[in-house]
Amino acid sequence: MIPVTKPYLPSREKLDRYIDGIYERQLLTNNGPLVEELTRRLEEHLEVENLLLVSNGTLALQIAYRALGISGGEASAEAITTPFTFVATASSLKWEGVDPVFVDIDADTWCLDPELVESAISPRTRAIVPVHVFGNACDVESIDDIGRLHGLKVVYDASHAFGVDYKGESLLKHGDAATLSFHATKLFHTGEGGAIIFKRKEDLERAKKMINFGITGPESIEELGINAKMNELQAAMGLCVLDEMETNMAARHAVWETYERELAASVQLQKQSSNLTYNSAYFPAVFESESVAVQMADFLKENGILARRYFFPSLETVDILGHKDRQPVSSDIAGRILCLPIYSELTSTEQRRIVTLVRRCG
């Protein structure tokens, strides 16, 4: 069976050397030397500052909300976000006591439509939480302007945007914070893990306290905290994956280009923002109708290929998230979308087979 994605596994020999060091030091967590090294190297690789490693991408969002004062207050709060995303974007808000208010997406880019954001702002609104969907850049200029005009924090869920540049600099520099997921299936991963990139140093320093139970010294607790630290084993995996990023990205980009060349006339593709350096992390394709998309997924599975209805369902339809207003563009795209297999080890023979089957069923 060809999976929709596969974790990138770096050099075992190099990973073993890092693990040998962990055994020698007998230090497994609490901001060890590998976490410190990975922090420095990621800031250099991504050309960002104020990066904080955490244990997963969902906690990255929750810590960002807390550090920026979006959650944790006495009054009930809302945050405007997109329904076309992985559930963690919205459920992390709900978990933190912030009601997600869904606003529809642009029909071409599939990112939050800034023209609809202002009309959704209420006295309870504390933040805007857009998503760089599949690594495509939101209209960051418009969204950041709205945030400044109305005194709202902007937290970008940038889980898919590792290594993406926009207008010549890292996309992760926009907003008050941007969060990353380093889950095993991501382009860059630490097995599990995540990171937050803060605009301001003071927000980083507050978040550092939060991820270690609020502890600031042997007998000092200054914040309401939680355990969200990345450990040394996660950092070891990340350092090895980072060493091989160029090879990994080149292989995935070659797969992406094959799909684009062979399928652009058959399916609707996401319109990428201009001035974007794309990371080829996903290949989403939108079909003529939901019935065609479901039929395609079943047909591919019968032929040993897993495609994923990602993102489905549109989150305004999820009862536990509490916001019922239908978002027609998101619902439409969510019903018709499939992500096709893409990972560095996908062979040219497998790529041709997938293309042939998609064309045959489509």
Residues with catalytic function:
186
Q: What whole-number distance in Å separates Cα of residue 2 and Cα of residue 304?
A: 6
Show the tokens assigned to 17. Answer: 């050397």
Residue pair 7/184 in contact by the 8 Å Cβ criterion: yes
Classify residue 336 by its DSSP letter.
H
DSSP codes, 267-287: SB-PPPPTTEE------EEE-
Residue pair 194/158 in contact by the 8 Å Cβ criterion: no
Residue pair 98/74 in contact by the 8 Å Cβ criterion: no
What is the pairing mode between strands 194-198 and 276-277? Answer: unpaired
**Torsion angles phi and psi, residue 122, rounded to 5:** -130, 175
**Torsion angles phi and psi, residue 249, rounded to 5:** -65, -40
Classify residue 134 by its DSSP letter.
G
Assess whether the previous peptide bond of 313 is cis (omega < 30° from 0): yes
Q: How far is CA 12 from the centre of its chain?
A: 26
CB neighbourhood size of 333 (10 A): 23
Q: Which of 193, 190, 169, 168 is nearest to 179 (CA)?
A: 193
Q: Which of 124, 171, 166, 175 is nearest to 148 (CA)?
A: 175
**β partners of residue 8:** none
**Cα end-to-end distance, the chain, whole Å:** 21
